[in-house]
Homo-oligomer: A and B are copies of this chain.
């Protein structure tokens, strides 16, 4: 039985659960597994060159007949080429983040594709709506990876975005189970985007050591750092401690950039270097206790959502918890 919202109608999927595009985690295997389970899988182009993205799109189409999409970070130097590749390969759902959606919306809409942009404030949600995107992801402070400057949490951001725009809203940041999904929908979201929980699935292309680090993480395991560059949430390790220390002692952006160096994300997430790599993950890591097949994550979220919704309704009707 479907859970039907404006978001499932927009994408043509069964459940309003979207798997976030995540560097080094979400290739065709993860995206197709989520789409086959009734959610919306996204191929994360963040760690791919255009040719590799094309290969993943083709592979994904072999693995599922259901809708899937591509996530493209707009800060990429080759963003034009990535967008063109996705459209040329027939992708009709594009998620964009970290940049100005207005520069790309015309081309995407002209191709008949749906465009969804990730925002971290009401201001950016309004701007995205104004330029013509079809939906926004409202992503809170607890989310893993790159993060907004205003540090607004999902619980506070989602209802304010709901009150401000008319297009459908997808909540992101801190959602790893059916409880979080029900909470997000209670706030007015028409769907949820889930990253960290899917990063630690069988089909995620992340290194086994990274997945285990997510499983081992407790509630206080992640931290938002590198704020003078681009704020990023990651699991605390030697690299994170150095970055925090530099930040606290007032280091200039240049010296932080030097400390960061290059390929830290690859080292942490894909190569499994738990000390010197960037282990991007959300606060919801503390809610992830095992590495599961993606389909089991989707089914578990849906079942728990239904149970929680029924319990809340009983409470609302005066039946004791």
Please report A residues at the B interface, Cβ cutoff 8 Å. 1-6, 121-123, 140-142, 150-157, 159-160, 173-175, 177, 179-180, 182-188, 190, 218-220, 223-224, 248-250, 282-284, 286-287, 305-306, 308-310, 312-313, 315-321
Contacts and interface: CB of A to CB of B under 8 A. Distances in A.
Copies of this chain, how many?
2
A1 B318 CA distance: 6
A320 B219 contact: no
Nearest to A141: B153
Nearest to A227: B248
A4 B321 contact: yes
Nearest to A152: B219
Nearest to A4: B320
Contact of A309 (B184, B282, B312): B312
9 contacts: A3-B315, A4-B320, A5-B315, A122-B286, A123-B220, A151-B223, A160-B218, A160-B286, A179-B187
A40 to B, nearest CB: 17
A60 B251 CA distance: 52
A151 B224 CA distance: 9
Contacts of A318: 1-4
B174 A155 contact: yes
Contact of A190 (B160, B305, B321): B321
A163 B142 CA distance: 19
B183 A219 contact: no
A172 B224 CA distance: 21
A236 B174 CA distance: 25
Given A5-B315, A122-B219, 13 more contacts: A4-B321, A6-B321, A142-B152, A153-B283, A156-B282, A156-B287, A159-B179, A160-B219, A179-B187, A182-B186, A186-B186, A186-B312, A309-B312
